[in-house]
A and B are shown apart, each in its own frame.
Chain A
Amino acid sequence: MLEVKNLVTSFGSVVALDGVSFTAQESKITTVIGANGAGKSTLLRTISGLEHATSGSITWSGKSVIGMRAEDIVRGGIAHVPEGHAVISELSVEENISMGSLFRRRKFKADVTAAQDEVFELFPRLKERRKQLAGTLSGGERQMLAISRALVSRPKLLLLDEPSLGLAPLVVEQIIDSINILCRTTGLTVLLVEQNANTALGVADHGVLLSLGKVVADRPAAELRADANLRAAYLGY
Chain B
Amino acid sequence: MDTFLAALFSGTSRGAIYALVALGLVIVWRGAGILNYAQMGQAMFSTYIASTMITNGNSYWLAFVVAIVVGAVMGVLLDILVMRPLSNKKKTELLSSESMRAAIPVIASLGILGVLQALAGIIWAAEERGFPAPYAQEGFTVAGNVMPFTSFDVFVITVVLTTLALTTLFFKKTGVGLAMRATALNSEVARLSGIRTNFTRSLSWAFSGAASSLAGLLITPTSNLSPNTLDLVLIIGFTAAVVGGLDSPAGAVIGGFLVGMVISFVSFYGSPEDVFLAILAVLLLVLIIRPRGILGAKDARRV
Contact = CB atoms under 8 A, between A and B. Distances in A.
B178 A98 contact: yes
A153 B193 contact: yes
B178 A95 contact: yes
A104 B194 CA distance: 9
Interface in A53-89: 69-71, 74-75, 79-80, 82, 86-88
Interface residues of A, number: 27
A90 interface: yes
B182 A103 contact: no
B196 interface: yes
A99 B193 contact: yes
B179 interface: yes
29 contacts: A48-B192, A49-B191, A50-B191, A69-B191, A71-B191, A71-B192, A74-B191, A75-B194, A82-B189, A86-B188, A87-B189, A88-B185, A88-B189, A91-B181, A91-B182, A95-B182, A99-B179, A99-B189, A99-B193, A99-B195, A102-B175, A102-B194, A102-B195, A103-B193, A149-B189, A149-B193, A150-B192, A153-B193, A153-B194
B188 A71 contact: no
B178 A102 contact: yes
Contact of B179 (A82, A87, A102, A153): A102
Given A70-B191, A71-B197, 8 more contacts: A50-B188, A74-B191, A80-B192, A88-B185, A90-B297, A99-B195, A100-B194, A153-B193
Of listed B179, B191, B193, B196, residue having the most chain A CB within 10 A:
B193
Contacts of A219: none
Which interface residue of B175, B191, B195, B197 has the most chain A CB atoms within 10 A?
B191
Given A86-B189, A99-B190, A71 B182 contact: no
B178 A99 contact: yes
Interface in A104-153: 104-105, 149-150, 153
B59 interface: no
A49 B194 CA distance: 11
Task: Using C-beta atoms within 8 Å of the partner chain, give the interface range for chain B.
Answer: 10 to 19
Contact of B194 (A82, A91, A95, A103): A103
B3 interface: no
A51 B33 CA distance: 21
Interface string B269-284: 0000000000000000
- Tell me the interface secondary structure of chain B in the complex: helix
A107 to B, nearest CB: 12
B105 to A, nearest CB: 22
Contacts of A102: 175, 178-179, 193-195
Contacts of B191: 49-50, 69-71, 74
Contacts of A86: 186, 188-189, 192
5 closest A-B pairs (Cβ-Cβ)? Answer: A74-B194, A103-B194, A70-B191, A99-B193, A100-B193
Contacts of B190: 99
Contacts of A98: 175, 178
Interface string A26-56: 0000000000000000000000111000000
B175 A82 contact: no
B188 A82 contact: yes
A145 to B, nearest CB: 11
A50 B192 CA distance: 8
A88 B182 contact: yes
Contacts of B193: 74, 99-100, 102-103, 149, 153
